[in-house]
Amino acid sequence: MADITTDELRSRIDEDWPRVVDALSEKIALGSVSAKGITGGHMKRSAEFVADLLGKEGVDARVVQSSNPDGTPGAWEVVGSRIVDPKAPTVLLYAHHDVQPVPDPSEWDTDPFVATAKDDGRLYGRGSADDGGGIAIHSGALHALGDDLGVNIKVFIEGEEEMGSPSFIPFIEAHRDEFASDVIIVADSGNWSAEIPSLTTSLRGNTCVDVTVRVLGHPVHSGQFGGPILDANTLASMLIASMYDENGSLVVPGVASEEPVGGLQRDLDEASLRADAAVVDGYRLAGADSLASRLWTKPSVTVIGFDAHPVDGSFNVIADSARFRLSMRTAPNQNPAEAQRALADFLVAHAPFGAEVSVEPLENGQGWAMDPDSAAVRDAEEALAEAFGTEPANKGEGGSIPFIPELQRIFPGAQVLVTGPEDPKANAHSPNESIDLASLRKNILAEALILTKLAK
Ligand SMILES: [Zn+2]
């Protein structure tokens, strides 16, 4: 492979640009809403469109229908490969071709399924960013490299990501050999902003427990027993409060707390966080250390359900029991089952006034952290810096993207790079979704540069 310069790649991308925007616009018009039925004809057409798009870049892309764990037909997936040299490294390119639904088109300023470019430099439409942008990046990068591609490519463009990927694990397991690769590029996340690129470095895991606090065999009158006997709601509140220190940091032994993976390049802005969440004026943010660590890599617990007597119609009784559900976001590297056990042990051990506390464990979801010292990560960071003309500010995700830890589990030796075309203005999953076109062009160059670097 001849060494291709960044300038040459950039000019090829510029030349190809109208094709990329047209393809993205056509993709938006397909309205591939998986919530309308993952096995539907509209989803098959969307998969065929993507297979055709990648086929033009030398990938032997084909559409395959997956099977759900119960054996019923599943999503229309796009798989394929382009092998340039059996001795070269292999890179799996991931994106998804399904899009979020549009429950109320009247909330949009434009037709959600007609790609509309505006003077703000953004292209509007459902799936423009999530994840039509990811497909555009892969197509554009392969096109720019053309015959200068120096790595083997495998592709997996999923058809049910927005539905929680029900057939993902059986599908990957069944195609394990076809997907085996040294590096996996997941183009389904985003950048710090349209101007500042990022790798997504970590995802928190999650776990849930249901907790019951019991103090009495039956409710009793508060006039007769109130005083020595605290009601179960109060005891439950005490139990919940016991998980925190005075700063609002969780103090549950065995629940891990981590720092941003690969170090923190840039902290989040408190004023934006307050504005985005509409935090009331006087509220002091809980926890300590960087805001980024509190949102990305430290654990957090939320009471997401609480069974108590409704206020209307309440009367003077001492509640015998109270039940609540805790949802915990766990540090990226901690096994969530281990965090769940630590949380359950803590709650039972801290039963206020010796009330009965029982904990029922619910589901766990594994987190994920990239290896910040891997060669692929260094290549990707250099490529992003070159393409965007500024150093990346990597970021974590406080939530989960369940298929990423699954990919990592099935291919433990692969380096997973999480990139993507979104930025904070993209409104993925909301009305008026859009993609910044200048940023998309830079993301295409970045991926072409990553593939070039990985070839060496
Ligand atoms: Zn997505």
Q: What is the CATH number of the domain that holds 148?
A: 3.40.630.10
pLDDT one-digit tens code per residue, 178-189: 999 999 999 999
**What is the DSSP annotation of 52-112?**
HHHHTTT---EEEEEE-TTSSEEEEEEEEEE-S-TTS-EEEEEEE--B---S-GGG-SS-T
Collapse the DSSP code of 364 into the 3-class scheme (helix H, G, I; strand E, B; otherwise coil) and give the result. strand
Instruction: Give distance in angstroms: CA of 23 to centre of ligand 1.
Output: 18
Choose among 102, 60, 97: nearest CA to 75.
97
Q: Please say whether the beta carbons of 120 and 129 come within 8 A.
A: no
Instruction: Give distance in angstroms: CA of 420 to centre of ligand 1.
Output: 9
Choose among 360, 353, 362: nearest CA to 214.
353
Same domain assignment for residues 397 and 378:
yes
Q: Give the chain's length.
A: 456
Instruction: Give distance in angstroms: CA of 77 to centre of ligand 1.
Output: 15
Instruction: Give distance in angstroms: CA of 96 to centre of ligand 1.
Output: 7
Q: Please say whether the beta carbons of 437 and 192 come within 8 A.
A: no
Domain CATH code at residue 257: 3.30.70.360
Our count of domains for the chain comes to 2
Q: Please say whether the beta carbons of 394 and 201 come within 8 A.
A: yes
Same domain assignment for residues 44 and 152:
yes
Q: Please, which residues have CB less than 5 A from ligand 1, an ion? A: 130-131, 188
For the four alpha carbons of 6, 10, 16 and 20, in that order, the dihedral sign comes to positive
Q: Could you say which residues of the chain have pLDDT below 70? A: 1-2
pLDDT one-digit tens code per residue, 5-52: 999 999 999 999 999 999 999 999 999 999 999 999 999 999 999 999
| 158, amino acid identity | E
Same domain assignment for residues 236 and 151:
no
**pLDDT value of residue 402:** 85
Phi-psi label, residue 125: left if phi above 0, alpha if psi -120 to 50, beta otherwise: left
Q: Please say whether the beta carbons of 451 and 149 come within 8 A.
A: yes
**pLDDT value of residue 456:** 87
**pLDDT value of residue 388:** 98
**pLDDT value of residue 400:** 86
Q: Which domain holds residue 243?
A: 205-271+287-365
Asked if residue 107 belongs to a domain, the reply is: yes
Instruction: Give distance in angstroms: CA of 405 to centre of ligand 1.
Output: 15
Quote the distance between the C-alpha of residue 137 and its chain's center.
18
